């Protein structure tokens, strides 16, 4: 049996019932063996475009389709329906990637450059969704192309030049599966650096800052720099830990991020080079059950200036992420790591999606995505979660 393919396009002011009318008309002219091949719809500010591709017996003509639409009175209230005979699309080569663009404001000029980059590697955009318009602008594009490496490179160049944050991920249902989301604490979940607040209590902020500078310059590794900084805390009464905790400031959007992750069934975790004694009580309040961090040695209520147990360094963070994933029961492909410092590079590299949050260039180079906005809940957009979903209670 031979078939003919038609594209039916309905456009105009959106109104209740127009979809039902269209599909009733298509059902009327369909015969045995006919099928609905594809459907797409978009509505912007009450203006509708609804397209349906239908394959029907060759005895069904364009006039038959138009007559069926007229019977359903689909043309009223400003709605226009057109019928066009088309050649069925061949099976397209190449896989789909999800491209997420995020900035304080995304304009037509930035989107032009993005789409030129997509075209430059012979890729095409199949769908665009506006995930958020505040407090940041965020678009998600479904892009199909053969050369994913070239597409990533082209988009990265454009994103850096235009000041847009970018994530490029494989498409698939895995994005809505259970995820483990692991965050660094200092300067990621928190606005503060815990060791700096402790140093203020110990009146050694200057000395701690100098050690930190040497570590950042590559003169000391993290483990050695941490030991030296903790040594300066010797003699502090452990009660300062409570005072420091009270001073901690969550990053804007942190509570929204955690609340949304919990509601959607995702699992949040914190892996930090900071200290369990400060972080654990805070995370209990935030309902975060998974924590890996360093431990201060405390004897008779006094901080000794030594660490208890192995140091959670760059490699230790990656191992913690892997262990948490095994405990939660999700593959590494469904893990997300968020951090800002060189100490986070290994876990960002191991995770299925590594996000550099207001990070230094060396961290961004190892990440799949980067955020330069100050809102931690922007991480949710890279999981395909819209602002509307975030605000749904």
Catalytic residues: 184, 186
Give the DSSP H or E segment for 241. helix 240-247
Give the start-end residues of each E strand in the chain. Answer: 3-13, 35-44, 47-57, 80-86, 95-103, 124-132, 137-145, 165-170, 180-183, 267-275, 290-294, 296-299, 302-307, 335-339, 353-357, 369-371
**DSSP states of 197-239 as a string?**
HHHHHTT-HHHHHHHHHHHHTTSS-HHHHHHHHHHTTTT-BTT
Of the candidates 364, 386, 367, 369, the one whose C-alpha atom is nearest the C-alpha of residue 377 is: 386
Distance CA 58, CA 131 (A): 41
Instruction: Give Cα separations from 222 to 124, 294, 296, 320, 345 (angstroms).
Output: 44, 12, 16, 17, 13
Helix axes 276-285, 240-247, angle to 10 degrees: 50
Neighbours of 93 (CB within 10 A): 8
- For the record, the structure tokens of 266 come out as 């995702």
Distance CA 344, CA 87 (A): 51
Distance CA 309, CA 338 (A): 25
Helix, strand, coil percent content, the chain, rounded in steps of 5: 40, 30, 30
């Amino acid at each position: 049996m031979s078939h003919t393919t038609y594209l039916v396009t309905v456009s105009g002011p959106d109104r209740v019932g127009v979809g039902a009318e269209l599909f009733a008309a298509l059902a009327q002219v369909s015969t045995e063996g006919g099928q609905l091949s594809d459907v797409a719809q978009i509505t912007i500010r009450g203006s509708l475009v609804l397209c349906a591709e239908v394959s029907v017996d060759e005895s069904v003509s364009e006039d038959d389709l138009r007559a069926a639409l007229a019977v359903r009175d689909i043309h009223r209230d400003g709605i226009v329906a057109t019928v066009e005979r088309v050649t069925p699309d061949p099976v397209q080569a190449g896989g789909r990637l999800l491209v997420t663009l995020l900035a304080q404001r995304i304009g037509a000029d930035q989107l032009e450059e993005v789409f030129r980059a997509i075209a430059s590697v012979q890729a095409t955009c199949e769908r665009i969704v506006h995930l958020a318009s505040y407090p940041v602008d965020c678009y998600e594009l479904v892009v199909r192309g053969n050369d994913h490496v070239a597409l990533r490179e082209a988009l990265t160049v454009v994103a850096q030049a235009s000041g847009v944050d970018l994530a490029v991920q494989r498409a698939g249902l895995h994005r809505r599966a259970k995820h483990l989301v692991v965050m660094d604490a200092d300067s990621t979940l928190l606005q503060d650096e815990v060791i700096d607040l402790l140093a203020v209590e110990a009146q050694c902020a200057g000395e701690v800052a100098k050690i930190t500078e040497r570590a950042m310059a590559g003169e000391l590794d993290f483990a050695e720099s941490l030991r030296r900084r903790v040594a300066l805390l010797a003699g502090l009464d452990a009660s300062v830990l409570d005072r420091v905790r009270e001073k901690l400031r969550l990053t804007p959007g942190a509570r929204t991020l955690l609340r949304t992750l919990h509601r959607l069934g995702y699992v949040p975790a914190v892996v930090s080079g900071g200290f369990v004694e400060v972080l654990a009580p805070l995370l209990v309040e935030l309902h975060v059950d998974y924590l890996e961090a360093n431990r201060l040695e405390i004897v008779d209520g006094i901080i000794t200036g030594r660490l208890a147990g192995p140091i959670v360094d760059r490699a230790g963070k990656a191992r913690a992420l892997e262990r948490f994933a095994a405990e939660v029961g999700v593959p590494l492909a469904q893990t997300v790591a968020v951090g800002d410092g060189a100490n986070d590079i290994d876990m960002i590299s191991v995770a299925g999606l590594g996000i550099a949050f207001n990070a230094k260039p060396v961290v961004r180079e190892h990440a799949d995505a980067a955020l330069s906005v100050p809102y931690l809940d922007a991480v949710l957009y890279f999981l395909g979660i819209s602002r509307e979903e975030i605000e749904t209670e």
